[in-house]
Structures are given as structure tokens and as C-alpha cells.
């Protein structure tokens, strides 16, 4: 959520800030602003709306000269989207400018104290408190003032700070919200995420919690909260710059769907050695795997849906009890954990606030934590006991496609590894799993190449008001993700239900013309699903079925059928989800929605 960019160097700052912010638009925002120091004063321009408005106001940065500056795209938490609430925020004499990602939990208490001291507030944000606190504690030493403010603030924050008295310095702070520092040719840059700096550098420093960095044109100095200087090593980013560009596709989401075969292959290939599953980063011996008494999968959004699939696969293959929790609920139900519990935290960004909090809670309670993340060096990757990367590359669209698909693959591989270690599958079964897994990339590509039928069908339902997705077993997990894809980018109300729950209330919502998407990939459950489809169809529903090739019987109970290649039933999600991704995408495109940046949503949810 929110995007921060800051620059100090030999070049003009404003164009770099605007360019960097444009690479962070996927994070979600409702206003934007930049502050640039020209050597005499700090100039501020900000506005509600898209970044292009800010570009027009500043003539793409040309009207704001200066080689030091900070920029921000805001996702509203405190105060409505408005020019006044947009960042950066400044102190009373305009000598300090601040941008902030996160939430200051005790801001009301701090704000009251500042008002009592005579400070006036121009916005409804929690961030303005930071600017005035810095003003209060600043006595000529920026580092000392920043650390005093850090000791008084509660919550999460990444900060970019400019002091008028120090034209050769840019300061940045990190606590729980992500922030990176990159060394560029002739200067240095800060940002919330890697895509903002790829154009300028591939060597970045990932800031840890409660670290401060003082940045000059030609140097970086990192400090802890005791004002002690610390040493940090840069991480080299191997992503191709083109990976963060659209590459001729109309939307990032479509491009990323088409990148799924390669991303899946990249996630599978390093972990299959001959006929064995080798996950070196797991850091567990076969004996330790056999000692696992319970697995808890904790995640949010699509990652949670991947976890629901993981439960079926892990329990089915490896015979280990698995619980799946929404990260936002995990800490508040007093989970039962011990040293025989493996907690798997799944997150694309590796910065999801609720998931990170669940990770820390799990470690405090003595559980071993495995992170499944896509971003190298992210907080979850660093803090988990071990990390398994999904090699999806940068994912820019807010609605995940390829990262979700790679999370599924990672869970399949874990299940196969655990099953082999625990002796719950035969050698013949394992060989079959490996063969089916290797075929998935080609099968996904085939489905993507047959997108025209799905596009034509989607065009018929642009005016849909309610859509219901139903399935059983793994198909229920697929339905959850298919429903989310549709609602988050097309704004059509959509719900997913375990098909057996229809008669427990949901079926009362079915009326003439209601679209019901039925997923049938689990052969053992065909008959029960066909019965559910007949139930909704007789009440006026139009039924779209997604099923395996050869299941011709489904045509008697559905109005429209999409066939997917056959694979092992555990892996069916990886294929059945593709037409549902395409369906949601073409509905959203047909309605004229902003597919890559849906309203009110953020790619990386870094606040609770």
C-alpha cells in the first residue's frame, strides 16, 4: 500500500520521482505528490487522483527544479482522498517534508499533545503528526530528531524525510513497512519496492526494522535506534527491466497470465532432480519431516486460496493434519502451536502486514516457520526460519495470476516431498505425480491459447449483477479464487460456495438469469456436482461448467462448458483456474474497468 520514492544526486529529482512512482502504481493509491528542494526552499505539489494529474501539474517535473526530493502515492487510511490529505506533509515553517507508508497507531494521542503545544494541522492524516514531531525535536541534528520521534511512535512506518537545513542529505526510516535503498549512477534512491529502481540500479539494500539511513549523493550511512552506525550488504536484483514493463500487452494482468507457463517451469525445475523432489531451502531432514505433527498455513487473499488447495493436497498425499487460517484472524484466536508444528506463511510480496505478524507470533510460540514468497529479501523471507521462493518474477497487476499459480506449485512440491519422506506414497505414484507436474506448463499454455471462446462468453455477461461459483473439495478452493478474480477487477458481486452448502440458504438467491460457475475436476465428485448444477438450473440459473476433457455428461446439466486437460486430481487447480482468470479479465475489460489498478485495492497490503 502506498508508494514512496526519494532521490538525491546529480540529476533533476522530479522526473525521477514521477517515473519511480509510476512503477509503484500497482500498489494502489488515490492521490499523489512530490516535494523537491531547489537549494533555497522545499517546493510541494500534490493532488487527488491518478499520477497523470500530478504529471500535468508539474509538466512532468519540469516546473520543480532541484536534485533532492521525495514522492508518494497515497492509499487513504486516515482522512478521505483529497489534495490536503495527499503526501508529502510539512511542518509549520515548511522546513521539513515527510512521506509515509504505514499507520501511526497512537497518532491521536500525539496529535492532541502537539495541538496543546500550539501546532496547527492542515490534514486529517496520521502522517502530519510525524512532520510536527520532527519539528518539535529538531535542534540541528536530523538523526537525533528522527530517533526521538521513532521512540514516541507506535505502529508501522516507512518514511522519507527532507530537511531544509541539510540540502545534501535525504533520510529514510523503516519499521514494519518495506523500504529499499539503491545506489545509482551519480546519486542514490529510496523506494517502497524494487520495480521503482530497476531503471536506475540492480543493487539494493533492504532496510531492516528500526533502521535509519542518511543518504548523500555519493554515500550511504545506516544507523540503528541507538544512533550506532551499522554495516549492510547490497542484494543484486536479477530481474530483467523488461519484466516490469507491459511488453506490448494491453494490461500487465494479461501479460502475467501469459507468463504463467514460464513461471511455473521456473518454480518446478530446480526442485526436481531425476525422480526425486529436492527442496534444499526447506532446511529439514526426512526425520524432521516425519516428526511434524501439524501444519498451519497462514495467508491472505489469493495466497489464502492457494493455502486451501494446499490443505487438500498435503493431507491427501502426506497424511499430515493441516489447518488453514486467514492471517488477519490467526493471532486473535490463540492458536495452538508447539515445536512439532510447521507454520507455512504464503505471501507474494513477503511484506503482507497480517502475515508478517502471524509469522512473528508463530516463532514466539516455538513453531518452525516456512515462508513461501516471491520477493527476494522481503521481510517474511528474512524472518522465516526457511524460505521457499516462487520464481514468478515481478508481478505488477494488483490481481495476482502467475504468483498465485506458482504458490500452488510450491505447495504441490512440498506435499510430494513430505509424502516421500513419510512413506505415504509409492515410488510408482511419485513418478506419476512428477510426470503430471512437468506437463502443467504446456497445458496452461494450451488453455491460454484457447482464450477466444472465453472472451466471447464473457462479453455476454458484462451486465451481470450477481455471480456464484460452486465446487467441492479442491474445486471449492478453485471457486474461491475464481470468484475473487471476478469481483476484484470487474466490481461484479460474486461469491464462492462449497456446493454442498447450496441448500443451506444460498439457493434462495438463485433466480432467472443468475450466472452460476460450476467447477468439476474431481472425478469422485462428478455425480454430486451434477446434482447441484441441476438444482440451480431448474431455478433459472445459467450454468457455466469448467471440467475435465472427456466428461461429456456435464453437457446435460450445463448451458456452456469449458474443458481443461486431464491431470492428477490434486493438481487440477493449476489448470481450471486459467479460464476463470481469463473470464474475470475479459469481463473487466468489456466493462472498461482499470484492470491493473482496481479501485480501492493495493498490491501489497502493508497495514493491518
Between 573-591 and 427-449, two packed helices, what is the crossing angle to 10 degrees?
A: 20
- C-alpha cell of residue 25: 502504481
User: Closest Cα to residue 369, out of 284, 287, 302, 311?
Assistant: 284
> Grid coordinates representing 309?
488447495
The beta strands (E) that lie in 531-575 are given as 542-548, 560-564
**Residue 603 annotated among the catalytic residues of the structure:** yes
| Coil, strand or helix at 142 | helix
User: Which of 317, 323, 365, 375 is CA-nearest to residue 344?
Assistant: 323
C-alpha cell at 101: 507508508
Q: Residues 158, 91: contact at Cβ < 8 Å?
A: no
Which residues, other chains included, contact 288 with Cβ-Cβ below 8 Å and sequence gap of 6+?
A: none
In 3D, which of 93, 88, 135 has the Cα closest to residue 110? 135
Chain centroid to CA 17: how far?
Answer: 23
> From CA 406, how far away is CA 412, in angstroms rounded?
10
How open is the CA angle 435-440-441, to the nearest 5 degrees? 120
Grid coordinates belonging to 383:
524472518
Q: Which of 600, 573, 592 is nearest to 264 (CA)?
A: 573
Nearest to 17 by CA among 74, 72, 75: 72
524: annotated active-site residue: no
Alpha helices in 250-339 (DSSP H): 252-258, 260-268, 286-290, 301-318, 327-330
The residue annotated as part of the active site, out of 23, 175, 417, 603, is: 603
- CB atoms inside a 10 Å sphere around CB 360: 13
Q: Alpha carbon of 77 to those of 3, 124, 517: distances in Å? A: 14, 10, 35
In 3D space, the residue among 266, 276, 274 whose CA is nearest the CA of residue 430 turns out to be 276
Check the CA dihedral 426-432-436-437 and report its sign.
positive
* Residues that are catalytic: 2, 603
Amino acid at each position: 500500500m502506498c508508494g514512496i520514492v526519494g532521490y538525491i544526486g546529480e540529476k533533476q529529482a522530479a522526473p525521477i520521482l514521477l517515473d519511480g512512482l509510476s512503477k509503484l502504481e500497482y500498489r494502489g493509491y488515490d492521490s499523489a505528490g512530490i516535494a523537491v528542494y531547489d537549494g533555497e526552499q522545499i517546493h510541494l505539489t500534490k493532488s487527488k487522483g491518478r499520477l497523470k494529474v500530478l504529471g500535468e501539474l508539474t509538466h512532468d517535473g519540469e516546473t520543480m527544479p532541484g536534485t533532492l526530493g521525495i514522492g508518494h502515492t497515497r492509499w487513504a487510511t486516515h482522512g478521505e482522498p483529497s489534495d490536503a490529505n495527499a503526501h508529502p506533509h510539512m511542518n509549520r515553517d515548511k522546513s521539513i517534508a515527510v512521506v509515509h507508508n504505514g499507520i501511526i497507531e497512537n497518532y491521536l494521542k500525539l496529535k492532541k499533545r502537539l495541538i496543546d503545544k500550539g501546532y496547527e494541522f492542515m490534514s486529517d492524516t496520521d502522517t502530519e503528526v510525524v512532520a510536527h514531531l520532527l519539528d518539535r525535536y529538531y535542534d540541528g541534528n536530523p538523526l537525533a530528531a528522527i530517533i526521538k520521534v521513532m521512540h514516541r511512535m507506535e505502529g508501522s512506518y516507512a518514511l522519507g524525510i527532507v530537511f531544509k537545513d541539510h540540502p545534501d542529505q535525504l533520510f529514510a526510516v523503516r519499521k514494519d513497512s518495506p523500504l529499499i535503498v539503491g545506489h545509482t549512477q551519480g546519486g542514490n534512491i529510496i523506494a517502497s519496492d524494487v520495480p521503482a529502481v530497476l531503471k536506475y540500479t540492480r543493487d539494493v539494500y533492504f532496510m531492516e526494522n528500526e533502521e535509519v539511513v542518511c543518504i548523500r549523493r555519493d554515500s550511504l550511512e545506516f544507523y540503528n535506534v541507538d544512533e550506532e552506525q551499522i554495516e549492510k550488504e547490497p542484494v543484486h536484483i536479477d530481474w530483467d527491466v523488461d519484466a516490469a514493463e507491459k511488453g506490448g500487452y494491453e494490461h500487465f494482468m494479461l501479460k502475467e497470465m501469459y507468463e504463467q507457463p514460464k513461471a511455473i517451469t521456473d518454480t518446478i525445475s530446480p526442485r526436481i532432480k531425476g525422480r526425486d523432489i529436492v527442496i534444499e531451502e526447506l532446511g529439514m531432514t526426512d526425520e524432521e519431516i516425519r516428526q511434524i505433527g501439524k501444519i498451519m498455513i497462514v495467508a491472505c487473499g489469493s495466497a489464502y486460496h492457494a493455502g486451501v488447495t494446499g490443505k487438500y493436497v498435503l493431507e491427501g498425499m502426506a497424511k499430515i493434519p493441516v489447518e488453514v487460517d486467514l492471517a488477519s484472524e490467526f493471532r486473535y484466536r490463540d492458536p495452538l502451536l508447539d515445536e512439532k508444528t510447521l507454520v507455512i506463511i504464503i505471501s507474494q510480496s513477503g511484506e503482507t502486514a497480517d502475515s508478517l505478524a502471524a509469522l512473528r507470533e508463530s516463532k514466539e510460540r516455538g513453531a518452525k516457520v516456512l515462508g513461501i514468497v516471491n520477493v527476494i529479501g522481503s521481510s517474511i523471507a528474512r524472518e522465516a526460519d526457511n524460505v521457499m521462493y516462487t520464481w514468478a518474477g515481478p508481478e505488477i497487476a494488483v490481481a495476482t495470476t502467475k504468483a498465485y499459480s506458482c504458490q500452488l506449485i510450491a505447495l504441490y512440491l512440498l506435499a510430494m516431498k513430505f509424502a516421500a519422506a513419510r512413506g505415504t506414497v509409492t515410488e510408482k505414484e511419485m513418478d506419476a505425480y512428477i510426470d503430471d507436474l512437468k506437463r502443467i506448463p504446456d497445458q496452461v499454455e494450451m488453455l491460454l491459447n484457447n482464450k477466444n471462446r472465453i472472451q466471447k462468453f464473457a462479453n455476454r455477461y458484462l451486465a451481470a449483477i450477481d455471480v456464484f461459483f460452486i465446487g467441492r473439495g479442491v474445486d471449492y478452493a478453485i471457486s474461491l479464487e475464481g470468484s475473487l478474480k471476478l469481483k476484484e477487477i470487474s466490481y461484479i458481486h460474486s461469491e464462492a460456495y462449497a456446493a454442498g452448502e447450496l441448500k443451506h440458504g444460498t439457493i434462495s438467491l438463485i433466480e432467472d438469469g443468475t450466472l452460476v460457475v460450476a467447477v468439476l475436476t474431481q472425478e469422485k465428485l462428478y455425480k454430486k456436482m451434477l446434482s447441484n448444477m441441476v438444482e440451480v438450473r431448474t431455478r433459472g440459473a445459467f450454468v457455466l461448467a469448467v471440467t475435465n476433457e472427456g466428461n461429456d455428461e456435464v453437457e446435460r446439466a450445463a448451458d456452456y462448458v469449458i474443458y481443461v486437460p486431464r491431470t492428477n486430481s490434486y493438481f487440477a487447480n493449476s489448470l481450471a483456474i486459467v479460464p476463470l482468470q481469463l473470464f474475470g479479465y475479459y469481463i473487466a475489460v468489456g466493462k472498461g474497468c482499470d484492470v491493473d489498478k482496481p479501485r480501492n485495492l493495493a498490491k501489497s497490503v502493508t497495514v493491518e
